Amino acid sequence: MRAPVSVRDMADLNEPQNVSTKYPGPPFETPKVPGPASISDMDPRPDHGEDSYVGHGRLEGRRALITGGDSGIGRAVAIAYAREGADVVLNYLPDEQQDAEDTARYVEQAGRRAHLVPGDLSDESFCTDLVSAAVDFLGGIDLLTFVGGRMPTIDGIEDFETSNWQNVVDVNLSSLFWITKAAKRHFGPGAVITVTSSEQAFQPSPSLVEYAVTKAGISNWARAMAAQLASEGIRVNAVAPGPFYTPLQPASDPKQKLENFGGSGPYGRPGQPAELASTYVYLASQEASYTSGETIAVTGAIPIH
């Protein structure tokens, strides 16, 4: 595994690198875990930018609510937002408390404030309370970033269960409506909503039908909401990751797929959360002021249509 890069070694970090060997590829030793999984369950440990992400003040003074902020992509985004100058509120499941506290420490080490609000996004009343807690702590919300989600693997339609389907829809998709409705009255011009879609929205896997349907809905939600909110100066965009190495995999993927995760792509490896954080920062920043209604795919050269 490539050694962690410290902030003081930025000269080396900025040197051109072979993207296919920058991080480890399969086989992975990470065990299958009855989710939710933790960063500590993963071998090798994912890179969230803890030792490498350097901010440039692009989000100075902004106030961010991030779902799924304990680990994986959400943790990388929280670290990056904080180092760019934003205070953050992190949502996650109660079982993910240890990872969330660790993420909060990185935010505070960046000189920014962090507040932890555990809870289940499938609960509409909790989603409303989450916004209230964020506003109470931050004094408002400028950046609303949705990362948290569920990805069940279901091999055949005969295994389809309505209760599981409803939970996936509520966590991945309904929560966008509930939280945005509650947060909108606190937005001002320049507020930004960023949602997390997936390559599965465009090229769904047979065993991820339920997940893929919600991710396609998320991309459509971003397009429609961008048009609806444009006149108020609010931007809405989506990020569509390819295979990224996060605790979502040991909690969701079968063991064989987990061992070989990301190996079939052009890079021969999955992406690391640290490689995705800058996309969220760009969309949240004023550098993207004319970008709205878009879905940015970050797939490691895996073509999507």
Which residues are the active-site residues?
A: 211
Question: Are the C-beta atoms of residues 132 and 150 closer than 8 Å to each other?
Answer: no
Half-sphere exposure of 99 (CA within 13 A, CB side): 30
Q: From 208, 269, 225, select the one nearest 17 (Cα to Cα).
A: 269
Side by side, the strands of the sheet bearing 235-241 are 114-118, 87-92, 63-67, 143-145, 192-196, 235-241, 295-298
Tokens 């989710």 belong to: 35
Residue 107: burial class (beta carbons within 10 Å; 0-12, 13-18, 19+): buried
Q: From 272, 252, 268, select the one nearest 260 (Cα to Cα).
A: 268
Question: Are the C-beta atoms of residues 58 and 285 closer than 8 Å to each other?
Answer: yes
Tokens representing 89?
Answer: 């509120």
Reported residue count of the chain is 305
Eight-class DSSP state of 171: I
Question: Are the C-beta atoms of residues 302 and 266 closer than 8 Å to each other?
Answer: yes
Beta bridge partners of 114: 88
